[in-house]
Amino acid sequence: MTDSVKLAGLAVAAPEHVISQQHALEASARLFADRFEDFRHLARVFDSAGIQKRHAARPLAWFDDAHGWQDRMQAYAEVASGLFVETASSALHQAGLEAGDVDCVVTVSSTGFTTPSLDAQMARRMGFRADIERVPVFGLGCAAGVSGFAIAARLARSRPGAVVLFVSVELCTLAFRLDELTRPNIIATALFGDGAAACVLRTGDGGMAEVESTGEHLFPDTLDIMGWKIDDGGFGIVLAQALPPFAEQELGPAVAAILARNGLTPDDIDRFICHPGGTKVLAAMESALSLTPGALDHERGVLADYGNMSSPTILFVLERAIRAGLPERAAMIAMGPGFSASCVTLRRI
């Protein structure tokens, strides 16, 4: 249908610096082992995380020194701006459009900020029109790749013919903390990487996939599962040990409820495309969604090559799923701070 929202372009990118998981482990041992009694026990996560390498905004040696807000946000502004332009330009080119065609840009990021926001900072460099509508979104964390995509899709649907650009940029490694001698900080050090993605959404013919439905579920009394604590040193990770069992128990009913509101059931979904938060979370999601163990193969491939990049990670998975050939109906699923679950269903064109 010409009035349905289509995904017309999708591009992904990552910073130039590559850190192998072995080098990340060696650096972490050098920085933490003599100061944190539990490090050797927790270091096993570097081997069990399913990650071979990740990309970072700064070279590995940068993380040997303590950095405050100014250093972190200067690095964020520099690298995030470049990734914004790279992914947005590529996605628009893929859609056969130019920056001047964009009517609205939705930008999600929870690992740094600039004021004015990234979309305004890059407006001249990109070539956006003066009447462009900007929607910067902060705080949705890992779920933002799906929830931000859903926001952009709803904006495109509300204004048939408008071109909506969705950009997700996360530089998780800039939150690395030398002073946080905690289990969550070590786990985060083993898991997170940096990356960005952009999508072009519009009504009309063509495109890679049709956006069928969107929905979210906010779990009550779950603020302590995931998020940031913010102090003078920067962001500090909040990551509950109970996340995988929580996902295994609660995700299935939440996704079923989202789908039901859109006249669907889990049996209608030919392929779930999930945010790969980690190997344990992926196993929990497979169980919660009644999938065969190991079914989330693209997710494990992205996790191995890039780590958990927060919000753009799901779009890296989507890009691989599209290249492999989307089935008749797919559902993107991501969880994030709130604690919340987001879902978008896509139909093959």
**Residues tagged active-site:** 142
List strand residue ranges (DSSP E) for the chain, in order.
5-13, 17-20, 53-56, 104-108, 133-137, 164-171, 194-203, 209-218, 226-231, 234-239, 271-274, 329-336, 340-348
Q: Are strands 209-218 and 164-171 parallel, antiparallel or unpaired?
A: unpaired
Closest Cα to residue 227, out of 273, 253, 254, 188?
A: 188
Q: What are phi and psi of 251, to 5 degrees?
A: -65, -45
Return d(Cα 89, Cα 60) in angstroms, integer: 28
Q: What are phi and psi of 79, to 5 degrees?
A: -75, -40
In three-state secondary structure terms, 347 is strand
Return d(Cα 59, Cα 135) in angstroms, integer: 31
| Residue 277 · residue 166 · CB < 8 Å | no
